[in-house]
Structure 1
Amino acid sequence: MAEAAPVVIAADDGVNAAIASLAAIDRSALLPQVGGAVDQLAGELADLRLSTATASRAVQLIPPMMGIDGPRDYLVLVQNNAEPRALGGIVGSVLVLRAEEGSIELVEQVAGNSISFDEPVGDLTDSETAIFGSQLGRFMLNVTSTPDFPRAAQLASDMWIAERGETPAGVLSLDPVALAGLLGATGPVTTEAGLTLTADGAAQYLLNQIYLDEPDPAQQDVFFADAAASIFSALSGGSGDAQAAVSSLVQSSDQGRLMLWSSDPVEQSLLDGTQLAGEVPEVGSTPVVGVYLNDGSGAKIGYYLEVATSLAVSECRPDGSQRLRLKVDLTSAVPDLATLPAYLTGGGAFVPEGTIQTNLSVFGPSGGRILGVSGPEGEMPVLTQRQGDSPVSLITVTLNPSESMQLELELVTGKQVDGVPTLRTTPGPRATVQTIEPGCAATS
């Protein structure tokens, strides 16, 4: 791949140059049949650019990140969606992977709750502290409270440096659903404890069944890390179907379950804008709305939270902005409390036992506004902050077993933001039901 890099990069540059040349042609001066041919070629080149751009980034990123120029150590944050955080879940365990000359080796694993500080590591902004609390910079468990993965990864790296004095080359994050997908490629694996994990059952076991089977939290942490390490060992050892593994990783990236950050600014610039980067997008013609969950129950009861979201354009405004209506439906599917251990339910430490408390951070479109929030009893008073150019409404929802709640928010985008809306949500134990209607540009 390293040897092929110059050719692949040159091919991508050539495609971009051809696209620029075609864009400079005045179509009005051409005969219809010639103009049609130019348009067709432009479309074909645009499609080709998707492939050449991806290939160009890959050949520039993969060889150095795989240690072709020397060994590199990466942190792997394994998130636990049973206790939700904006990016997925708390950091249940941290693995250290070493890449050298194209091979990957697991060299260490620690529990996520083993790394904490009395004061925030790194400088949190005022808005970060207001929205996520100082815990964002104090506990490895909570770096995923922010929906911006590059920020979460930087904080995780800073914590590792402060704790160990070692600088990671980058940070990778994934969750048990992504790990279960990899088992579809590697086949079942057996942990050191002797438990066999399969593609069909791994996510449910790691996110729920382990808390029913093992009452000791310390042993739960050990098992969680052991399971993740066993899957990585199978993958790095070449077990299973490589093409199926790649397909699984692509799907996990599309779902926001797999993210990657590099401490090298040049490499990170190549990741920027890709699905793997996990960024909170800045302003553009496409309005992006985010619905992010942070658990307030202090338990693993988030496994039973069901989420559905819908985003629709309610008005196309003269200044090119769009008025949007966001609906968020939350339902507690908590079963009979008599069957659930206290560690899973929280034992009443923060909220009544069996209650799911969720702190929602709704990010409006960059450059836009959140006009109002309503619930079952009408308009709700909410705390509103700003994160960069995005308005953020903070809403706490408390659900008893079998209870549901629908929230409705009215938002407006910035001017000349008429593209199809995009909705980002926290990836949970199961897929979030999501509905999006076309934007103003698509209906004009």
Structure 2
Amino acid sequence: MNASTVQAIAKQSRLAAQQLSSASESMRNLALSNMADSLESVKDRVMEINAQEVLKARQEGQSDAMTKRLTIDEKVFQYMVSRLKKVAQRPDPLNRVLEGHTNPAGLRVCKKSVPLGVIGIIYESRPNVTTDAAGVCIKSGNAVILRGGSEALQTNTLLTDAMIAGAVSAGLPQHAIQIIRMPGHEAVGELLKMDDYIDVLIPRGGKGLIKRIAEGTRIPVIKHYDGICHLYIAADADPMQAVELAVNSKCQSVQTCNALETLLVDKKCAKLMLPLLQTGFNSNNIELRGCEETQKLLHDISPATEEDWHTEYLASILSVKIVNSIEEAIDHINHYGSGHTDGIVTQSLNTAQQFEQQVDSASVMINASTRLSGGGDYGLGSVVGISTDKLHVRGPVGSDELTTYKWVAYGNGHLRG
């Protein structure tokens, strides 16, 4: 794919974005409903093509975590369809009056929510990003350019073509949803140069991909860096609740960005808690790596190194550290964490509030699994990722987060005196 092809796609998206900006809420919601129906109509073909791509990935030596992220089974497919329907049910993020007033001269001034424009999504592995991204962008009136990984190119193309048909049947422009159909890095490199047409890039994938995108473009980037997620078990934590939360945070889906990677246990409860936790993790085949103090209480685990505290495993490995206080836990999280999701188990409201106020993360979980941080459980429907940035959006990136605003002033021949 040459530069002119990518530029043509970007230009088409810019024109589509201009048309989308005035598309009514009912038209956008109808498009989302039609997109869901179109996906259902190609379900068998999607499953067939996806199975072929998963098999090829395995044959090429891709990891189990990678192939699992790549796989569309019945549950994943229904999840993809349901997220389009749920985002359609969300309140309209556009044309909201965020603030307004009438000045003493009678000039009416308001600040209204509007689309960002053209969103470029560059991602790896997960085909559900294709449908989530398209859904969130259409809901928020943005045109979207999709560039998925080559390992799922046929699956993503089939999904995209179905959604384009659904959106067009509702009256949206042909190029509201586009996908770059050629494998290789050349197209991505060209996409990064399209700052005249693309308003925001959102990379989804490993830290290396995100860093390359952010450093290689003048286009603003919403970054979704590592999910080095922590759970701190305070001295007063209820043992049964603590074990259940720790095990669910780690084991419910080890390959996701909000899965637990480092467990911090207060020294005052470590002797009681660690054997209970080990039993829970052993039953889920989790390899534990512990600090020196942890190894004294759990003799048959591997030592944790400095690198472990920095690592997002996305695998059945968990690092464990005993800390002397909540202050030490907070310091550890703010030093080693990625600002994604961190939680505490405690029965003390004051302790919970201290943790919440001092931990610098996009999501802070109080007596709740880290796996609950995200669009679905936060009631946002589809999201295009979980931003670890602070500007312009932090945490789950849903339709509301893909808007900006404009100032509008209504006058009656008003002049500046």
**What TM-score does the superposition give when structure 1 sets the normalisation length?**
0.26
**1 or 2 for the larger relative contact order (CA 8 Å, sep ≥6)?**
2
Q: Which has the higher strand share?
A: 1
Q: Which has the higher helix share?
A: 2
